Amino acid sequence: MNILGYLYLDVEENEKNKNIIYFFKNYADQYKKYLYIIDRPLVDKKYVYDYKDKLVVLMQDHKILLINCDDNDEKFNEFAEDFIEDLGSIADKFSYKKIIGRPKSWKEKNIILNKKASDIDMKLIDDIKLPESDKRTVELLISLLIGSINDIDRIKTAQVPENLLDKIKQKIILFDTEQTSFIYKFLNNKTVKIQGLSGTGKTELLLHKLKELYTSSNDAKIAFTCHNEILANNMRKRIPDFFNFMKVEEQIKWKERLWCIRGWGNKNNKDSGIYRLICDFYEINFYTLYSKSFDNACATAIDEIKLKIGSPENKDFKYLFNYMLIDESQDFPGKFFELCEMVTENTIYIAGDIFQNIFHEETIDKNFKPDFLLNKCYRTDPRTLMFAHGLGMGLFEKTKLNWLNDDGWEACGYIIEKKENDKIYNLKREPVKRFEDLNGQNVLNSVDIIGVLGVDYISSKIIDILAEIKKDNPSLCPEDIAIIFMDDEKYIYPVADMLRYEIKNKFKYEVNIAYESKEKITNSIFVSNKNNVKGLEFPFIICITKTILQNMGYRNSLYMALTRSFIKSYLFVLEDNNITINNIKDGLKKINTDFCMEVNVPTEEELRVIKHNIEINKEQNKSYAEFIEGIFNELQIKKEFRKQLKDMLEVAYPNSFETEFVKKFIQTNNELIKEKININLNHR
């Protein structure tokens, strides 16, 4: 199995087929069209055929080609008949039949049989191009063959919808060549890294890989983990739904064959986190986040396991897992991966965003090479992604916060056009098929910056935007919208409460305050602070901030929040009259009109300053223990009360970095502890 540019190849190359493969490889690369050459449906291993000398060529907007690489027409026709029958069976299995019908409905229109090597030329490519009315049908057939199964209830019809929201929602999603390779290609590496931008489908690919691993063995023990608790909870709900959707017959055996839990965990529940489960399995000390940093806790676990039972090289070493899948890897420290490798027998699949932490050293390390690199974002409009990158890195401002070398820009999917002796870069992105209805057309801006006079005006301005969105999108649902507060300040809580009241009153929509519920709830507008949005996506995002701060962590959160949308993001800024905002608006205008960022390349001195500031930022990153201790010191909490308050926090709000929320909890419970002590003293 090889990846050849835009071509995905799942057949062995030989003398009979090599010229055909070479032709389609050149075609795919020249026209930048994803193209797949297979010899059986990839979605299930059970589909095998006796006839070997055949190719199935899949091209979007073209009929499917069944090519005979030999002269045995009888055996080829037998294969073709079986193949179409199997494709019809797969369509029935995934309920596609109610949209595309039985094979007799699409066979003649969408499949060309028994083409020879001599038939393959550009004239044939032109001849098999489909009219608009048949394009969606062939896309659905391709999705079945490569395992990129779409929810047919979301697709709804073989015709293209008219309104924009439904066009984007009902777009047929096909894996590209790199995504397809990750799912079906098994590497011998102990660790397989997949890196990609936000919205490139990393989590979805991990789900497909999980299904492949789980169904390939009857007893393999598999762990799926991520750092964020709300994302872990969301994934624990998504996995059974995904398995049902993919028609997996094996029952999920939770805590026996499959765990979906966050990274750390708490001492009261051994199944609350990967690190906690490891400590229980190997009977070693468990350290809470109040006593050690996560990196130190994992390092200590490694040493204690080696001391107790030896290293994995020891033939008697007992592994906890056979496979592990780690999502949002950029949130974990290095020792966590080392610990996971130690306790996992076979392969660890690690998915991370090279930009999710835009100030991580890997974003500027040209030597960092993942096994699979995804640089096409299928969730977010390319203009939104460009703006979020530009804003996150300070590219629109005189003093930039980060800069990538040319390899880094290209790894992130950018096309570089250099001007004025390489002092100015025009950074562009290739169009993405999901947004072809928007690309090249000013149908709408993908991001709007909205000035707000003050905190008291936020809720009314949001109500106006919601009314506008609802008017323009008749099929809008409450869960299509997220409202995210970027500031770590007290004002967000009364404003969120006001929004809950006003939204229910005006639109009759329920509101999910996610920093309380810690989950995404259907049929509700999602309202949150910046800490609960990873792994989620919405058609529309509204971000609120008082001012654009220079803080690197804040810029990273802003980038992450803005890229949660797949139609439009709104950025509310309270202070709307400073130079920074004006420069950012100019950068956004360029993106919305010309579909590119025009940025000045930093000088050597500026690059040295950028690197120095990134190093300082890394040193200033606090562990959770330091974060809590800082609040204790600020509130002047007595030493004798701190242990009890830490234990209470660990149960009530584990891993929460929400400063005002944690402060309020500590203050309230500190008073309760003091009252209890006074009562006990009075009773003596």
Helix (H), strand (E), coil (C) string for 64-102: EEEEECCCCHHHHHHHHHHHHHHHHHHHHHCCCHHHHCC
C-alpha 250/C-alpha 260 separation (Å) is 17
- Predicted confidence at residue 533, as pLDDT, reads 80
The pLDDT of residue 10 is above 80: yes
Average pLDDT, the chain: 87
> Sign of the CA dihedral 99, 104, 105, 107?
positive
- Write out pLDDT tens, residues 626-680: 778 878 887 888 888 888 888 788 777 665 666 767 888 898 888 888 877 776 6
Calculate ∠ Cα 48-51-53, nearest 5°: 115
Please tell me the number of Cα atoms within 13 Å of 381 on its side-chain side.
Answer: 34
Read off the pLDDT band of 536 (50, 70, 90): confident
Average pLDDT over residues 233-258: 92
Q: In what order do the strands lie in the sheet with 510-513?
A: 447-451, 565-573, 538-545, 481-485, 524-529, 510-513
Q: What band does 374 get if pLDDT is binned at 50, 70 and 90?
A: confident
Would the pLDDT of 347 be above 60? yes
Q: Whose structure tokens read 């995934």?
A: 94
Count of Cβ atoms closer than 10 Å to residue 656 Cβ: 19
Q: What are phi and psi of 249, to 5 degrees?
A: -85, -25
Among the listed ranges 319-328, 368-377, 407-416, which one has the minimum average pLDDT value? 368-377
Who has greater pLDDT, 205 or 617?
205
Its sign, for the CA torsion 519, 525, 528, 533, is positive
User: 78 φ, ψ to 5°?
Assistant: -65, -45
pLDDT of residue 299: 96
Nearest to 326 by CA among 178, 427, 227: 227
- What is the structure's pLDDT at 433? 58
Q: Sorting pLDDT into bands at 50, 70 and 90, what band is 457? A: very high
Query: Whole-angstrom Cα distance, residue 387 to residue 596?
Result: 9
The 10s digit of each residue's pLDDT in 208-241 is 999 999 998 889 999 999 987 878 888 999 999 9
Q: What is the pLDDT of residue 400?
A: 92
> What burial letters (b/e) apply to 537-564, b meaning 16+ CB within 10 Å?
bbbbbbbbbbebeeebbbbbbbbbbbbb
601 SS3 class: coil
What confidence tier does 683 reach under pLDDT thresholds 50, 70, 90?
A: low
User: How many CB atoms sit inside 10 A of residue 335's CB?
Assistant: 18
- The answer to which of 60-64, 195-199, 236-240, 396-400 has the lowest mean pLDDT is 195-199
d(CA 546, CA 644): 35
Q: Are 543 and 418 in contact (CB under 8 A)?
A: no
Mean pLDDT of 140-165: 82
Where would I find the H helices in 349-457? 382-393, 406-411
DSSP state of 666: H
Q: b vs e for 397-410, b when ≥16 Cβ sit within 10 Å of the residue's Cβ?
A: beebbbbbeeebbe
pLDDT in the model for residue 62: 96
Helix, strand or coil, per DSSP, at residue 568: strand
The dihedrals phi and psi of 526, each to the nearest 5 degrees, come to: -90, 120
Q: What is the pLDDT of residue 623?
A: 61
List of domains in the chain: 2-160 (no CATH), 199-352 (3.40.50), 382-605 (3.40.50.300), 624-682 (no CATH)
- What is the rounded CA–CA span in Å between residue 156 and residue 168? 13
Residue owning tokens 């360029």: 590
pLDDT tens per residue across span 24-51: 999 999 988 899 999 999 988 889 999 9
Q: What is the pLDDT of residue 613?
A: 81
Asked if 416 and 426 touch (Cβ cutoff 8 Å), the reply is yes
Reading the block at residue 416, the tokens are: 């570089």
Q: CA-to-CA distance for 62 and 652, rounded, in angstroms?
A: 56
CA distance 205 to 208: 5
Residue 364 has what pLDDT? 43
Q: Can you give the pLDDT at residue 3?
A: 41
Give the ranges where 318-433 is alpha helix by DSSP (H): 334-343, 382-393, 406-411
Question: Which of the pair, 437 or 678, is modelled with greater confidence?
Answer: 678
Task: Give percent above pLDDT 90 in the chain.
Answer: 54
H-assigned helices in 563-638 = 579-594, 604-620, 624-635
- Those residues with Cβ within 8 angstroms of residue 283's Cβ, 6 or more apart along the chain or in another chain: 308
Q: Answer with the residue of higher pLDDT: 424 or 185.
A: 424
* Residues paired with 324 in a beta bridge: 223, 348
What mean pLDDT do residues 274-302 have? 92
What pLDDT is attached to residue 19? 94
Task: Give me the residue label for tokens 């037998």.
Answer: 78
Count of H helices and E strands in the chain? 25, 21
For residue 376, pLDDT over 70 is answered with yes
Closest CA to 490 of 661, 635, 657: 661
CA distance linking residue 464 with residue 483, whole number of Å: 13
Indicate if the pLDDT at residue 496 is higher than 60. yes
If pLDDT is split at 50, 70 and 90, which confidence band does 160 have? Answer: low
Of 33-37, 160-164, 570-574, 672-676, give the lowest mean pLDDT range.
160-164
pLDDT for residue 325? 97
Q: Using an 8 Å Cβ cutoff, are 444 and 384 in contact?
A: no
Which pLDDT tens digit goes with each residue over 458-468? 999 999 999 99
Q: Which pLDDT score, from 0 to 100, does residue 176 have?
A: 87
**Structure confidence at residue 1 (pLDDT):** 36
Compute φ and ψ for 598, nearest 5 degrees: -110, 115
Cβ–Cβ under 8 Å, residues 145 and 175 = no
In the predicted model, is pLDDT for residue 380 greater than 50? yes
